[in-house]
Amino acid sequence: MTEPLLEVRDLQKYYFERDTFIDTLLGRERQSVKAVDGISFEIEPGETLGLVGESGCGKSTTGETLLRLREATGGSVRFDGQDVFEMDSEELKAFRKDVQIVFQDPFSSLDPRMTIGDIIVEPLKIHDIPEDPGDQSKREWRRTKAGELLKRVGLSATQLDRYPHEFSGGQRQRIGIARALALEPDFIVLDEPVSALDVSVQAQVLNLLGDLQEEFGLTYLFIAHDLSVVRHICDRVAVMYLGNIVEFGPTDELFESPKHPYTKALLESVPRPSTSEHGRRVDALSGDVPSPRNPPSGCRFRTRCPQVIPPSDLDIDQETYRAVMDLRDALVVGDVNPDHIWDAADPERVDEEAFIDEARSRHVDAELRGEVAGVVDTALGYLAEGDDARAEETLRNRFESPCETRRPGVGDATHPAACHLYEGSDEVTVIETNASEPLEADD
């Protein structure tokens, strides 16, 4: 087996708030937004790795951080055996020749004041290429090179003196690809390169990227949220959720046999062309994506998971358990307003039973019975008395899930999933956390 071209280990990228000198003087506690929180993967030479997930999960930040367009908070990145984060200025400049990026937005990634020729030639000027232009001047050599690159991406060398606003979105993205190829890199980060393009143009650009990879022996990190595009171009896929990788595997295997509940939900949401699928109902995930300022303890996906694991000694179906967990999470983040419930149930605020019935109808989307109903009603009784903390504690003591006490990570298998459903196999590793601390509300 060949050595990986790129090795990423425990990569972290946090953005800090309340981090100024004034905040320190005022005693404000620094807060972090965990955009990327300890991810690891490898990319083999000539391979295309897809990085997928919802908007805001940290995909683009990952691509930019491993290229040192953003400085990492922690972890390591090795490219062709060298530690990228330990490179000095000269080593970093040499690294820039070997790695490039194609940005998502072809309208903002090209300087509107520069001609297309100048845009493509600029990297050659920065790296003083060529050293020896032969019979030509360096300017002539670079212009010839720019014309060849334009032709290779499907445009014309006669367009070198035109400006970006004179091109369509698909043509601008081809120009961005030509610029990325100018230094003859080994590795390119493709940051959602077709998401801003029409579907017909997407296919043309994807085919171009495939042809270029074969011709120049390129290695790609392909960042996307469109799973149909990923399946078309990628050899392996890593699925991200809230700064973590939750599943990793060969493309066909992951699409045919997804393991993580989040991956299953993503694939289920993809439109299908078959007439037999007409009218197919897609059940959306419950809740909203949590804030990376205060991510959930344990499994990051547990607040929306349709397969969250209940306590072993509790007889409860998944629908009811999910409804109770949603109530508890709503209490923790302050989404349950006792005043509104009292106003609707009993403005005099004396009929606790009416309060409990109203709170259930508003915040518990399931029919409760037996012990479950008793515990929930007890918690809502505390809420009626204004004791929010005791209400949340009552629910936590009885309904705490293994999914919130320990954080799962992808294991060493060929197709691992960061899910407690696979605990005990090499598909998942378990990371000890301070999960006993309650989830805090966002500021």
| Predicted confidence band of residue 435 (pLDDT cuts 50, 70, 90) | very low
Whether 255 and 233 have beta carbons less than 8 Å apart is answered as no
Residues 6+ apart with CB under 8 A from 163: 112, 114, 115, 116
Q: For residues 102 and 216, give the distance between their C-alpha atoms in angstroms, rounded to a whole number.
A: 16
**CA-CA-CA-CA dihedral for 14, 18, 23, 29, to nearest 10:** -80
173-187, 273-287, 421-435: which range is least confident on average?
273-287
pLDDT score at 17: 72
pLDDT score at 424: 82
Residues listed for the chain: 443
pLDDT score at 443: 32
Residues 6+ apart with CB under 8 A from 61: 13, 35, 36, 70
How many Cβ atoms sit within 10 Å of the Cβ of residue 1?
4
pLDDT score at 303: 86
Q: For residues 298 and 307, give the distance between their C-alpha atoms in angstroms, rounded to a whole number.
A: 15
Average pLDDT for residues 200-220, to the nearest whole number? 89
Beta strands 31-43 and 6-17 are antiparallel
pLDDT score at 379: 93
Residue 135 has pLDDT above 90, yes or no: no
Query: Of the candidates 162, 190, 195, 157, which has an alpha carbon nearest to the alpha carbon of residue 176?
Result: 190
Q: Which domains does the chain have, with CATH numbers?
A: 6-241 (3.40.50.300), 318-400 (no CATH)
Residue 134 has pLDDT above 90, yes or no: no
pLDDT tens digits for 306-349?
A: 888 999 888 899 889 988 988 988 898 888 999 999 999 999 99
pLDDT tens digits for 275-313?
A: 555 556 666 676 677 888 888 888 999 888 888 899 988
Query: Of the candidates 427, 430, 428, which has an alpha carbon nearest to the alpha carbon of residue 414?
Result: 427
| Predicted confidence band of residue 412 (pLDDT cuts 50, 70, 90) | confident
pLDDT tens digits for 216-275?
A: 999 999 999 888 888 889 999 999 999 999 999 999 999 999 999 999 988 887 766 655
Of 49 and 28, which is predicted with more confidence? Answer: 49
The DSSP symbol for 134 reads T
Whether 416 and 428 have beta carbons less than 8 Å apart is answered as yes
Residue 441 has pLDDT above 60, yes or no: no
Residues 6+ apart with CB under 8 A from 200: none
pLDDT tens digits for 25-43?
A: 666 676 788 899 999 999 9
Cβ burial of 32 (10 Å; 0-12, 13-18, 19+) is middle
Average pLDDT for residues 172-183, to the nearest whole number? 92
Residue 442 has pLDDT above 50, yes or no: no
pTM given for the model: 0.84
For the chain, what is the largest distance between any 2 Cα atoms, rounded to a whole number of angstroms? 95
pLDDT score at 5: 95
Residues 6+ apart with CB under 8 A from 57: 240, 241, 242, 243, 289
Q: What mean pLDDT value characterizes the chain?
A: 87
